[in-house]
Amino acid sequence: MKTRSGIFILLLFSFFAQSQEVVKEDSLKRNNKKDSITTISEVIIQASQRNLKLNDGNIVMSVSGNKNFKTSTNILEVLRKTPGVTVDQEDGIFLGGRINPAIFINGKPVVMSSQELQSYLRSLPPEMVESIEVNSNPSSKYDAEFKGIIDIKLKKNTNLGWRSSYIGNVYANKFNYRENSLNLSYNTDKAIYNLQLGYNDGMSTYRYNALQRLASTNVMRTKTYQEDETEIYNIQTGIDYKLNDKSRFGLNLRGSFRENYRVRSGSLYTTNEDETQLVFNTESNNPTHYLQNNYGITADYSFQNKNFKLNFLGNYLSVENKQQDDFINRDKPTSELLSYWKSDLVNKINIYTGQIDVSQKIGNSTFEIGVKFSDTNTDNNIRYDTLSVNNQFIFDPTRSNMFSYKEKIFAGYLAYNHKFNKLQINAGLRFENTQSISNAITTDSIVSRNYLEWLPSFSANYAFNKSNELSVSYSQKITRPAFSQLNPFRFYFSPLNYWIGNPYLQPSFTSQIKATYRFKNWVTSFTVGSEKDVMTRYPLYDPETNVLEYLGTNLPYRNFAALEMSFPIKIAKWWNVNSQFTGYYNHEFRPYLDEVFALKIYNYEVRLNQVFSLPKGYTINVFANYESKSGNSLYIIKPRYTIDLSVQKLWFDNKLNTKIGYNNIFDSYDQRLEFRHKQIMDNQFTHWWDSRKLLFSLSYNFGSSKYQAKEIQKTEEENRTR
C-alpha cells in the first residue's frame, strides 16, 4: 500500500511540475501580446478572494467561484471539504464527529427524508450555491433538537423569465448508480413558479465480516454480502407569490416514491479453538422488498414593515413504509433447511407543525419572539410467520410487534440582540413542553411522559478589525429519542445478531461552550461540554445461544471537547492547499453488566485539500483524509484514510460543466471495530461500503432567467423519523 501511495505521489508531482512549465510558457506568450483585455484578465486573476468569514461565531464558506470546490460534483462533496463537517460512507452528515445537523436552505430547514436530502445535495452543483454556514452551537431561537445547523445559501438572481437546468451523475464500481435532476423555474413580477423532477436508480453493495471467540472457546466467523437495487422518483412544485410590497405567500407540494430490492447472503463458519475441526457451517439468505411513499405540504407567509418582521410556517408530512423479508437458514455442507421465517412490516408517520416568528428592531437592538406546535403520530405493525414442521407458516408471537408513538410539543422562545460598536451580544431563553405516549400493544406496555424544559443560550462576538474576530457562545439542548430507538422489535443483521429499541429511553440534555477565533482565513475553535442521560446502544452476548443483541440505554453522563483548526497555504500561484486538523476528547461514564467503564478517549482527524489550476481551464483536486484510532469505553475503532482525485472543465461559454472523479482510490475507508474487554467478549468486525467509485458529472444550464426557486422546508420532528 505504501509503495503504491509513493508511486502515485511521485507521478502526481512530476505531472504538476511539467504543468508549471506549461503555465510559464503560456504566461510568456500572453505578455508578448499588446491586448488591453489580457491586462485586465491578469489583474482579475491576481485579485485576492476572501473565501471564509465568521457570522456570530459561525464559519461561513463561499462556494460559487471558490476554486477549492471547482472539482466537487455536488454540495455533498463540498461539505466533505468544509471545516468542522464530516460525511461518512453512507453520506451521513455530522458536526464535530458526533452531531447530526439540521440542513437549512436560505435560512429555512428543508422538508426531505434523509435519503431524499442526500439525493438533493448530490444534485445541487457548487455553482448554484453562494455560501455554506456551519453553526455548531445554535441559540435558543432554534428548535432544541438542533445541536447543529448547516445553512446553504443559494445564489440569488431575479431576472424575469424562465430558467432550466439538468444535472446528471453516474457512479461506477462493480455496479452503476445514476442520478438525474431537472429544475424548471419561471419568474414574473408577482410570482415565482418552480418544478423539480428527479429520478435515481442503480445498485450499491455492502460487506460485513466478524470474528468472535464464543464462550465455548469455539471460533465463529461471520460473513455478510448485500446488494441493494434502488429506484427513486421525486417531484416537488410550488409558488412564491408577492401579495404586495410588504408581504409574500408561498405554497409547496412534494412527493417522493422509493422502491428497494435487497439481497443479503451470509454465512456462520465455526471451528474449534485451534481452528482444526469444523463445528458448524451455516448459510443464510435474506431477500427484502421495501417501499416508501412520502407526501408533504408546506405553506409560509411573511410580512415586513420597516423594522418589523412576521413569519408563519405550516407543514404536514405523511410517510408510509412497507417492507417484506424472508430469512432462510441452511446447513451449508448438506443444504438442509434449518429455519425459515417471514416478516411483513407496515409503518405510518404523520406530522403536523406550525410556527410563528416575530422580530422588532429598535436602534441597535433587536427583540424576537416565537411559538411552535408540533403533533406526531407513528404506528408500526410487524408480523412474523415461521415455517413449522408440517411445512406451513404459522404466526410467531415472540417476534411480532405492534407499537404506536404519539408526541405533542409546544415550544416558544424570547431572544435579544444588541450591538455596541465592535461588540455584539445575543441572549435567548427557550421552553419546550413535551407530551408523549409510547404503546407497545403486543406486550401491553404503555409509557406516558409530560415534561417542561427551559433552555438558555448566550453569545458574544467582538471584531478587532477586518482580519481578527473572536466569538464565545453557550447553549443548552435536548435530544429526544427517535422512533427507531423506542420501537421494541428486532432489526436483524444476521440470524444471531440484531438490535432492539427501548420504549423507556429518556431524552438526553447537553450543555456546551464554544470559543472561535479568526485571523484572515485561519480559524480556530474550541468546544467543551457535558451530556447527561446519553442515549446509546450496548452489546449483550448470550453464551448458550451465541446470540448477540444490541440494546438501547441511557448512560449517566459523558464529557467531551473538540479543538478545530483550518488554514489555507498557497504553495504556488497554481497550487493551493487547505488544511484542517481536529482533535477530540471523550470521557463517558458507562455502567456495563456488573462493571463501570469510564475511559478517556483522545483521537484526531487531518484533511488536506489540494487544488491545482492548470492551463486551458482545467482544475485538478486531490483530497486526503486521515482518522486516527478512536472509539468509546467498549469499542476500539481502528485508524483509516481515504484519497480522492477529480478533474473539472467548463465548456460552451460556461453553460456546460463536466467533472470526473475517482473516490477512495485505495479502497482504504472501511470501518474496523474491536471489543476492548476480552474477559467479557472477544469480538471484532468490519463494515465495508463500496465507496471506491469512478464518477462522472454533467450539468447544463439554459433559459432566459437565472432565478433560483425557494426550497421547501423541514421540521426537527421529521429528522427523528429516520
pLDDT digits (tens, 9 = 90+) for 112-169: 667 777 877 877 778 888 999 999 999 999 998 898 999 999 877 667 788 888 888 8
Residue with cell 471489543: 675
Query: What would the pLDDT profile of 291-326 be if each residue is shown by its tens digit?
Result: 999 998 999 999 999 999 999 999 898 999 999 999
The confidence score (pLDDT) of residue 110 equals 72
C-alpha 397/C-alpha 444 separation (Å) is 13
The answer to whether 601 and 585 are in contact (CB under 8 A) is yes
Element (H, E) at 484: helix 483-486
Give me the sign of the Cα torsion angle 50, 645, 641, 134.
positive
Q: In this structure, how many other beta carbons lie within 10 angstroms of the beta carbon of residue 606? A: 15
Tell me the whole-structure pTM to 2 decimals: 0.84
CA–CA gap between residue 597 and residue 591 (Å, rounded): 6
Tell me 36's DSSP state: H
Q: What gap in Å lies between CA 102 and CA 108, rounded to an integer?
A: 10
Q: What is the pLDDT, as a whole number, of residue 716?
A: 46
Residue 153's identity, in one-letter code, is K
C-alpha distance from residue 510 to each of 214, 408, 533 (Å):
38, 21, 9
**Is the pLDDT score of 264 beyond 50?**
yes
Q: Which amino acid is at 23?
A: V
- CA–CA dist 101, 116 (Å, integer): 15
As a whole number of angstroms, the distance between CA 80 and CA 78 comes to: 5
Give the pLDDT score at 109. 77
pLDDT above 80 for 718:
no
What's residue 13's pLDDT? Answer: 40
Cell of 325: 423479508
Q: Which residues pair with 330 in a beta bridge?
A: 283, 337
Q: Which residues contact 75 (CB under 8 A, 6 or more apart)?
A: 63, 121, 122, 124, 125, 126, 129, 132, 152
CB 198 within 8 A of CB 232: yes
Backbone angles phi, psi at 487, to 5 degrees: -70, 115
Top-confidence residue, 454 or 8: 454
pLDDT the model gives residue 162: 86
3-state secondary structure of 664: coil
Q: 471-507, pLDDT tens digit by residue? A: 999 999 999 998 888 888 777 777 788 888 898 999 9
Which residues, 6 or more positions from 250, have their beta carbon under 8 angstroms from its beta carbon?
238, 239, 240, 241, 298, 299, 300, 301, 710
> Is the pLDDT reported for residue 9 higher than 70?
no
CA torsion 493-495-496-502 (nearest 10°) is 60
Closest CA to 277 of 216, 206, 367: 216
**CA gap 269, 441 in Å, rounded:** 38
Cα separation of 64 and 716, whole Å?
28
Strands 497-500 and 548-572: parallel
Task: Report how far apart, in Å, the C-alpha atoms of 243 and of each of 159, 176, 192, 248, 413 are.
Answer: 19, 47, 12, 5, 28
* 630-680 pLDDT per residue, tens: 999 999 999 999 999 999 998 888 788 899 999 999 999 999 999 999 988
Specify whether the backbone of 294 is left (phi greater than 0), alpha (psi in -120 to 50) or beta: beta
Domain ranges of the chain: 1-44, 157-719
Q: Which residues contact 56 (CB under 8 A, 6 or more apart)?
A: 424, 426, 459, 461, 471, 473
Q: For residue 426, is it left (φ>0), alpha (ψ between -120 and 50) or beta?
A: beta
> In terms of pLDDT, which residue wins out, 374 or 57?
374
Helices (runs of H) and strands (runs of E) counted in the chain: 6, 38
- Judged by DSSP in three states, 83 sits in coil
Q: How far is residue 52's CA from residue 20's CA, in Å, rounded to a whole number?
A: 27
> Which residue, 398, 401, 338, 350, is CA-closest to 374?
350
Name which residue leads in pLDDT, 65 or 402: 402
pLDDT at position 654? 79
pLDDT digits (tens, 9 = 90+) for 415-425: 999 999 899 99
Measured distance CA(99)–CA(510) in Å, rounded: 11
**DSSP element (H, E) containing 94:** strand 93-95
Beta strands in 388-507 (DSSP E): 393-395, 401-420, 423-440, 445-463, 468-479, 490-494, 497-500
Q: Which of 1-15, 64-78, 332-346 shows the lowest mean pLDDT across its residues?
A: 1-15
Has residue 5 got a pLDDT over 70?
A: no
Question: 446-469: per-residue pLDDT in tens?
Answer: 899 999 999 999 999 999 998 899
Percent of the chain at pLDDT exceeding 90: 58
Which pLDDT does position 100 carry in this prediction?
86
Q: Which pLDDT value is given to residue 111?
A: 64
Amino acid at 18: Q
Give the 3-state secondary structure of residue 397: coil
Tell me the pLDDT tens digit for each residue of 678-705.
988 899 999 999 999 999 988 888 776 5
Q: Phi/psi at 488 (nearest 5 deg)?
A: -85, 55
The CATH number of 157-719, from 2.70.210.12, 3.90.930.12, 2.40.170.20, 2.30.30.230, is 2.40.170.20
What is the rounded (10 degree) CA torsion for 574, 577, 578, 582? 180
pLDDT value at residue 342: 93
- Provide Rg for the chain, Cα atoms: 27
What percent of the chain stands above pLDDT 70?
A: 89
> Of the segments 100-104, 366-370, 612-616, which one has the largest average pLDDT value?
366-370
Please state the rounded mean pLDDT for residues 518-545.
91
Q: Give the other-Cβ count within 10 Å of 248's Cβ.
A: 19
Q: State the average pLDDT over residues 524-545.
A: 92
Which amino acid belongs to residue 235? I
Lowest mean pLDDT, pick from 206-215, 399-408, 485-494, 549-558: 485-494
Q: How many residues does the chain have?
A: 722
Q: How far apart are CA 81 and CA 187, in angstroms?
A: 34
Residue 17 has pLDDT above 50, yes or no: no
Long-range contacts made by residues 644-647, C-beta under 8 angstroms, separation at least 24? 645/620, 645/621, 646/71, 646/72, 646/73, 646/620, 646/621, 647/71, 647/618, 647/619, 647/620, 647/621
| Phi (first) and psi of residue 95, to 5 degrees | -110, 135
Query: What is the pLDDT averaged over residues 380-389?
Result: 91
CA distance 15 to 610: 14
Copy the grid coordinates of residue 162.
Answer: 424562465
- Answer yes or no: is pLDDT of 611 > 90: yes
Residue 158 has a pLDDT of 63
